[in-house]
Amino acid sequence: MTPRRGPAAVLAGLGAYLPPQVVTNEDLSRRLDTSDEWIRSRTGIATRHVVTPGTATSDLAVEAGWRALKSAGDDRVDAVVLATTTPDQPCPATAPQVAARLGLGHVPAFDVAAVCSGFLFGLASAEGLIASGLAERVLLIAADAFTTIINPEDRTTAVIFADGAGAVLLRAGEAGEPGAIGRQILGSDGESSHLIEVPAGGSRQRSSGRPAAPGDEYFRMVGRETYRHAVERMTSVSTQAAEAAGWRLDEVDRFVAHQANARILGSVADRLGIPEDRRLSNIAHVGNTGAASIPVLLAEAAADGGLRAGHKVLLTAFGGGLSWGATTLVWPEVAAT
């Protein structure tokens, strides 16, 4: 294994924000050919939070970022990384506006696009900034207003995806201390990019000189095949990350996977041999919030006691790209906001 160079990234603050509007399965069943029974049994979702017209990703990101800074008890920040699939605009990146609205001045700020793996790819970017000495304190925000790209008529995606934001403040520290982000294992498979996509709105469609075909501006997912990849990739990458940390899988106290679908999470945890009482989940009331999924779950679990200092935590995610990742950390003493 390549030895780590430079300081480790250590989790020192944590916050999350969900927009207040809640949509139930009954609400969806009134306008789509679906049912509460189908959605609960196939996805594990009962309710989800959604943005209302006029609210953008940056609005969610600022709330979560502010909470993470409050939790850290120190608002010095050298860089801002925003993981999102739903930037406020195609150009420029949303992170600089978020940094400005948080009063962070002229710090470097950029977006990371790795769909539902965005938090973990953002974590790798933040860790790199710290390890290289470019920054001592990085605010990583993962925020998605996913419902803004969902086709409201598509029952296969409209029942799953939702909106939210989570954020962590990472500071330079020692590899062995609680909160230090462990070795990260990341991967991608661009040959299967068509499984999760928004076909229009980028250079491919625009350079064709033709307007977008109806519906092509919306998110699409080939559900069943994506499901299979998600289970395989998250199982394998979780195993590798635990090994890299020198942990046996039965030592993992808390398993935190991207909240894609309760059945996917169950299959992955079963394959890893992680018992139910060590699996964290909030999909029933938040749905799939894209990049925000992991930090929102971490913040909720830290607040309700599901995560406690000293727990060995295994994180994993899978998403469009395709993209996937996993890492580990020993949970630190951190205030949840």
Residues noted as catalytic? 116, 258, 288
Helices 293-304 and 118-131 pack at an angle, to 10 degrees, of 80
The rounded distance, in Å, linking the Cα atoms of 208 and 210 is 5
Which of 30, 210, 224, 248 binds ligand UT7 (CB under 6 A)? It is 224
Contact (Cβ atoms closer than 8 angstroms) between residue 315 and residue 229:
no
Which of 22, 23, 24, 34 binds ligand UT7 (CB under 6 A)? It is 34
116 near ligand UT7, rule: CB under 6 A: yes
DSSP class of 140: E
- For 190, other C-beta atoms within 10 Å of its C-beta total 9
Q: How far is the CB of 176 from ligand UT7 (least distance, A)?
A: 33
319 near ligand UT7, rule: CB under 6 A: yes
Q: How far is the CB of 318 from ligand UT7 (least distance, A)?
A: 6
40 near ligand UT7, rule: CB under 6 A: no
**Sheet of strand 8-17: strand arrangement:** 8-17, 163-173, 137-145, 79-83, 109-112
> Sign (positive/negative) of CA torsion 230, 196, 64, 68?
positive
247 near ligand UT7, rule: CB under 6 A: no
The rounded distance, in Å, linking the Cα atoms of 164 and 246 is 33
Q: How far is CA 166 from the centre of its chain?
A: 8
Q: Which stretch binds ligand UT7 (CB under 6 A): 64-72, 101-109, 125-133, 225-233?
A: 225-233
260 near ligand UT7, rule: CB under 6 A: yes
Q: Point out which residues pair with 268 in neighbouring strands.
A: none
Sites for ligand UT7 among residues 142-181 (CB under 6 A): 155-156, 159-160
* 65 to 84: interface string for ligand UT7, x by CB under 6 A: --------------------
Q: Which stretch binds ligand UT7 (CB under 6 A): 72-80, 89-97, 129-137, 218-226?
A: 218-226
All residues at 6 or more sequence positions from 112 whose CB lies less than 8 Å from its CB, including other chains: 81, 82, 83, 84, 118, 121, 122, 125
**Considering beta carbons, is residue 210 or 224 the nearer one to ligand UT7?**
224
Q: How far is the CB of 292 from ligand UT7 (least distance, A)?
A: 11
DSSP class of 7: P
286 near ligand UT7, rule: CB under 6 A: no
Which residue ranges make up the site for ligand UT7 (CB under 6 A)? 34, 38, 42-43, 116, 155-156, 159-160, 223-224, 226-227, 230, 260-261, 264, 288, 318-319
